Amino acid sequence: MKGHVWTVLAICDSIETYACYHCETTYRWGLPRLTGPPFMFEVKAERDVHVGLSSQDRDLDAMYEIVIGGWDNMRSVIRRSKQGLEHADVQIPDLLSKNEYRAFWITWSSDGTIAVGRGGETLPFMQWRDPNPLPINYAGLNTAWRNHGWWDLCRTARPEGL
């Protein structure tokens, strides 16, 4: 996996904390099976944080791709496939930081609604309803486009109401 280096930084409750260096095209899978929403994490990255939500523990043609802080930390999107059509697209600059961890959550529901929000906030900054929802059992992590990312799945606290 040339160009893809994952380093385990810590372990807590069977969930690991990762650092990703140049994880360009492949998600880091192998996290425990999701028991339901929300999926919460903290990440420190300059830009291009991607979360894959899949029915299997690997990249699939039909899976959700959440991009936070893409396009030089200016836009975030929800897609129904890797690099696919953008169904939700919001322009919020500086959601990410290369110097400090920022917390996020992702929820999904049986009606196909996927929502993405910031830690400490209960209202999403981005959401989309898929009229033909895909099953979600696993999450994959990716820091794209020659960007370094440090992921922490251990410290994130559930915001009130989620």
Bridge partner list, 43:
102, 151
The helix/strand/coil state of 11 is: strand
Residue 6 CA, distance from chain mean position? 16
Question: Of 30, 8, 13, 3, which is closest to residue 141 (Cα–Cα)?
Answer: 30
User: How confident is the model at residue 147, as a pLDDT?
Assistant: 77
Q: What is the pTM of this model?
A: 0.84
User: How confident is the model at residue 157, as a pLDDT?
Assistant: 53
User: How confident is the model at residue 14, as a pLDDT?
Assistant: 42
User: How confident is the model at residue 75, as a pLDDT?
Assistant: 98
Question: Of 4, 19, 136, 114, which is closest to residue 68 (Cα–Cα)?
Answer: 114
Distance between CA atoms of 148 and 71, rounded to whole angstroms?
15
User: How confident is the model at residue 11, as a pLDDT?
Assistant: 36
pLDDT in tens, the chain (162 residues): 334 444 444 434 444 455 554 455 568 888 889 988 999 999 999 999 999 999 999 999 999 999 999 999 999 999 999 999 999 999 999 999 999 999 999 999 999 999 999 999 999 999 999 999 999 999 998 887 777 788 888 765 555 555
